[in-house]
Amino acid sequence: MAANDGNQAEITTEGNLTIYRPHEWSYSYLWTGFHYFWGSINFVNKWVLNKCQEYISDKHFDVIHVHDLRLVKVGVLLAKQFNMKVIADLHENYPAAIKSYVMDNSIKSIIRRYSVDRYSRWVAYEKQILQEADAVIAVVDEAKTRIVRDCKISPEKVYVVSNTESMNYFGKMSIDTAIANNYKGKFVISYIGGVDFHRGLDTVIKAMPQILKKKTNAILLIVGGKDDHCERSLKALVKSCGVEEEVRFLGRIPFSQVPSYIAASDMGIIPQYASEHGNYTVPHKLFQYMVLGKPVIVSDCYPLKRIVSEYDCGLVFNSNDSGSLGECFAKPVDSDKLGINALKAVREKYNWEEDEQRLFALYSSLMN
């Protein structure tokens, strides 16, 4: 089951997959907001539960695979009702993610962090509901360690399946050379992803004056979806740092253009804060840069530092420290060698073709 943008068929097939997108499951702001708030009160989104019940009632499924902590209780209820196994697929430390999402002082965030998105509520819920899952998926080794420790779950129940990229898919997407030509003569540092306060983009902007002393032709491309409040704050920071010509906000782009912007980059940057959230997840974009043989600059979040250091495929700076980031450009760097190492890392280990085998092993174990 998946969301419907309002223009998609309710039921579609792709290969052996049947995808059910209820027409009412739209991206309406009011609809999403209502069900988000109501579903957070008792951790059950009744609309999603009802739609799943309707769809499952006349069919037979062995397993329900639920993504993200917010919907795990729905999965548990459905598994009990229809005699299924349930897999809780956790992309991140969700309680910590919630805390980071409401870290700003907007009225909406203040209301959320003292009501339905109170951190302690989600910590207690996670510990309780994961006991009822038949298997749990963590995105990195560090996340598995946290889940086993904090939720008192057997290590045998937790599987690591990372959000790596497919060499056979992303690595073979077409490149629009016209995009790269737009930045000829520039040293392009690109950030591709969500534009939110916890992503650490303020650190990069503050470092730009220092970076420009060593790389006078450097530009920073910020590509991706935006939190309007965050973007306004970042643009004000850009102005105060005097780097309005060198920092460019490109907004959302079609996914088909992502490889082209990576190909146009000299280095990719992932500056997220080393926190309870950042230390137990890994952004998908790390592996997309690596698939295309690009060196990366990352903060010292546990998984980012571990992966980059393991293969010597980039540079690591101290989280939330613009001086440390600037220093990365003060010393000679063999970018070609780092890029080759990045490609080696995904060919040998960090690719979806490897991770899908772990997913198959999980299902095999569960069904046996």
8 A C-beta contact, residue 163 and residue 281: no
Indicate the burial class of 255 (C-beta count within 10 angstroms; 0-12, 13-18, 19 or more).
exposed
Distance in angstroms (rounded) separating the CA atoms of residues 101 and 64: 28
* Token output for 93: 């430390």
pLDDT at 24: 61
Domain ranges of the chain: 11-164+356-367, 170-350
Q: Considering Cα of 320, then 322, then 323, then 325, what sign does the dihedral take?
A: positive
pLDDT at 323: 97
Buried b (16+ CB within 10 A) or exposed e, 36-64: eeebbeebbbebbbebbeeebeeeeeebb
pLDDT at 153: 95
Distance in angstroms (rounded) separating the CA atoms of residues 26 and 46: 15
Task: Identify the CATH number of the domain defined by range 170-350.
Answer: 3.40.50.2000
pLDDT digits (tens, 9 = 90+) for 296-352: 999 999 999 999 999 999 999 999 999 999 999 988 889 999 999 999 999 999 999
Distance in angstroms (rounded) separating the CA atoms of residues 336 and 11: 46
Q: Which CATH class is domain 11-164+356-367?
A: alpha beta
pLDDT at 135: 97
In tens digits, the chain (368 residues) has pLDDT values of 777 777 788 888 888 888 888 766 555 556 666 666 777 788 998 888 998 999 899 888 999 999 999 999 999 999 999 999 999 999 999 999 988 877 777 787 788 888 888 899 999 999 999 999 999 999 999 999 999 999 999 999 999 999 999 999 999 999 999 999 999 999 999 999 999 888 999 999 999 999 999 999 999 999 998 778 889 999 999 999 999 999 999 999 999 999 999 999 999 999 999 999 999 999 999 999 999 999 999 999 999 999 999 999 999 999 999 999 999 998 888 999 999 999 999 999 999 999 999 999 999 999 87
Distance in angstroms (rounded) separating the CA atoms of residues 165 and 170: 7
Q: Do 11-164+356-367 and 170-350 fold alike per CATH? A: yes
Q: Considering Cα of 253, then 258, then 262, then 267, what sign does the dihedral take?
A: positive
Buried b (16+ CB within 10 A) or exposed e, 168-201: eebbebeeeeebeeebeebbbbbbbbbbbbbbbb
pLDDT at 96: 93
- According to DSSP, residue 227 is labeled -
